[in-house]
Amino acid sequence: MTAPNELRLLPWSGPEGKPCYLNTDDTAGYMSRLADNIEAMQLGTAAELLEQASETLDDENTGPEDLRRLAKDLTGALRDVHRVATSRGHLLAASDPHPS
């Protein structure tokens, strides 16, 4: 099994917003693939929101409600992308055969 410091941070939260972790050596297993797919969707959503944000901010007719909704959506996407980056950073550190 995976060492405790090598648990994979999953791209979703558990009860009360607490992080969820996966303990497995099988990177091709069902849960690992599910996490990979959800991470890919989250990153894709963030990329789409970035494009939308540029368009919204360039539009002089954008109102405060539109900006508030955009900020809320961007905050959620940033939270997801941060979790993906943290998870992947931990995976890279765990797989590094020559730690500094």
CA distance 51 to 56: 9
Q: Three-state secondary structure along 23-47?
A: CCCCCCCHHHHHHHHHHHHHHHHHH
- Per-residue model confidence as pLDDT tens digits over 46-84: 999 999 999 999 999 999 999 999 999 999 999 999 999
* Residue whose structure tokens are 């959506």: 73
Residue 1 scores a pLDDT above 60: no
pLDDT for residue 88: 85
Residue type, 26: D
pTM: 0.78
Tens digit of pLDDT for each residue in 85-98?
Answer: 998 887 777 776 66
pLDDT at 11 over 70: yes
Report the pLDDT averaged over residues 19-32. 91
